[in-house]
Amino acid sequence: MTVPRLSKLEIRKDVLQSAVEAMASTVGEVTSIVTGAVRDVAASVGGLATELFELRDSAQRAAEDGADPDDASD
């Protein structure tokens, strides 16, 4: 029985193809990780900004009502 042999050129092509596929998969995974991280950071910063706006509005309302926002009564 004769075993088919691959030429050196075909072996190189297969190795190159596998390497490109592996790199493409890795780039895709890393891109997904970075995209998720950027999204999470943006959401956190947006949440902080919302909190700060709400605090500012509360302080303004308290000042308009004549209350001292620094006066904490227990």
pLDDT of 22 over the 80 cut: yes
Cβ pair 37, 30 in contact under 8 A: no
In a domain, residue 44? The reply is yes
Distances (CA, A) of 70 to 12, 21, 58, 65: 74, 62, 12, 13
The pTM of the whole model exceeds 0.85 = no
In a domain, residue 4? The reply is no
As for how many domains the chain has, the answer is: 1
Which tokens belong to 24? 């493409």
pLDDT, tens digit (0-9, with 9 covering 90-100), for 29-57:
999 999 999 999 999 999 999 999 999 99
pLDDT band at 73 (very low <50, low <70, confident <90, very high): low
In a domain, residue 52? The reply is yes
Q: What is the pLDDT of residue 6?
A: 84
Higher pLDDT, 19 or 73: 19
Burial 56-70 (b: 16+ CB within 10 A, else e): eeeeeeeeeeeeeee
Range of the domain at 41: 37-64
What is the Cα–Cα distance from 37 to 48, expressed in whole angstroms? 17
